[in-house]
Structure 1
Amino acid sequence: MCNAYKEIRFAGWLVALGLATFHAVALAQVSAGSGAFPVRPLKLVVGASPGGNVDITARITARRLAELAGQPVVVDNRPGAGGAVAFNSVRQAAGDPYTLLMVPTGFTTGVALNPNAGYDPVKDFTPLSTVSYFSYALAVGAQSPLATLRDLLAAAKARPGTIAYGTGGIGSGQHLIAELLSSAGGVQLVHVPYKGGTAPMTSLISGQIPLVVEIESMLAPQARAGKIRVLAITGPNRSPLLPDVPTVSEAGVRDFVVQGWLGVVGPRGIAPEAVKKLNAALRQTVTDVEVVAAIEKGGAVARASSPEEFLSLIDSDTRRWSKVVRDAKIQIR
């Protein structure tokens, strides 16, 4: 009898909790659509530890967004599982316009590398706006006989499976880009994964490996110091950091354009009026002179988008990287 009573009370508590959650989300949606949004602090979740590029960009964005919204924007770092811990925490906040998420390109690669990631980047979220874009680059040692990307591709075709490249790890953006380039260029390069950090660069400079793929802003100082030679940039245009370096498309692989990016999404089910207001605030944020300067200082380009444009980018990148992972048979052990 006592156990039955406890079960009835527990069931009633669950129903009450469910109703409270439903009403909280409903109230958030009503306030978002009533013209009063936002009426309380917003949270910007980041799937990385403090101090990294994603975190720094999130804090730059949050600071200006808070000024425009008239409410605090609290950055909530939730690292783990390649960002999936943060992504899933926001996924579970369906309909809540006060819970936002700063997403990197890894948001789209994570589901390709881990089928059990627990989230769908296209279906489970509401894209709000991109914030920044950045390019990658290929570099060889300063004394390398490979002077151009064409030289690299010719050598790789002449000696398949003999030219190695270093990256920060299996499944990293650098790894996936190198595999995509190998496929587009019709060559077979050998991946040498490191455990992140500066190890690939150190090995390149010391001559232990002949090639690295890295974010261009990480390569630029070493290139200017004459320690390495950058062969090509993966973006659509030449970089102001390395203006004499051609794009991959210019250097021999036509129509090859790959960029990394950061943007802000919310959970699915956000009221359209809240989406409109958040997009407008983010557009103002990303075009702010101080924000643009801070993002450029980090080696990226500030660029906002419409929700529809961002959704298209997320969808196309998810498809692209899923194909690369399948074709290259990439597995994270």
Structure 2
Amino acid sequence: MSVVSVGDDYDVVIESGCSKRVADVIDEGVQRALVVHPDSMRTLGERVTASLRDSGIEAYAAGVPDAEDAKTAVVAADLWALLGHHGFTRTDVVVGVGGGTVTDLAGFVAATWLRGVPVIQVPTTLLGMVDAAVGGKTGINTAEGKNLVGSFHPPRAVLCDVDVLRSLPREDYVAGLAEIIKAGFIVDPVILDLVADDPEAATRPEGAHTLELIERAIRVKADVVSKDLKESSLREILNYGHTFGHAIEHVEHYRRRHGEAVSIGMIFAAELACAAGVLARDVVERHREVLTSVGLPTSYPSGRWAELETAMRRDKKTRGSMLRFVVLEDIARPVRLEGPTEEQLHTAYAAVSG
């Protein structure tokens, strides 16, 4: 078992079988729990619900749609209705069991019910474990963009049951690697070395370095968010690759896996930094080498720039009409690039779509 502390606020537990012990991290005095799970993980959601009932807690399971279809105001309202129907108070708890979309949704519902009730996250995907469930960002999507409605609401605990990863489809597991590799580029180059040491093993839950990769990525995020919970400065580095990545997700109506979009987004950010004279060409190529070695995409079709630019201008890092990107000066040296020129943007897009 590994435990990563996020400041003095909560712990992230990385252990086989820890999803069976949610009751152990629930505060004394909690009477009710709402277990939010995707329809595709009904068995695990009901198992967690049953374990809570066995511990004396009045627990209810709430199935929600899979993937980004869960992150809507309609689904959130349905969950609020359940909380109201069952009389949830501020001393009760919401439990998110699922991938990043479910932990985002469960956290948002907990943040907004009675202006904030506790949430415990049980991420079941690699992406959820190393990114979405850690850090307290919650949110839902709107027609205008991803995560534009949300709140900062740190969980009481995060339980990463690595056994669950063995049932994850390979494509989803590989997509989650994008966030781990991102952590390597912005803070911890050892991650990049571990992936390069055996790329094929990195794509499997039973790989030689799997636990170390997960723990290192979580430690990167935990260290950043403990210093900057509300993304006033430092936390923005965690958005490396996300400005262009979120734009891809938006124009494709969230049919593209988040990690795949972020992988392409990192290439765009690297090419943009190179076009702006900030990043050396060999580091750009290192991006392509590492990402392609595990099967992540690094290119995007041409002809969609107008849609992508419109979506990027709705990004949370944009200020007024000025686009802002997280880029690298070198590996583990992230900086902001504010107001890149149209020529630089088009050069980066051409490099990604060429």
Question: Which of the five TM-score ranges fits, normalised by the shorter chain?
Answer: 0.3 to 0.5
Q: Which TM-score applies when normalising by structure 1?
A: 0.33
Which of these two proteins has the greater Rg computed from alpha carbons?
1
Q: Which TM-score applies when normalising by structure 2?
A: 0.32
Structure that is richer in helix per residue: 2
With a CA cutoff of 8 Å and minimum separation of 6, indicate the structure with the bigger relative contact order: 1
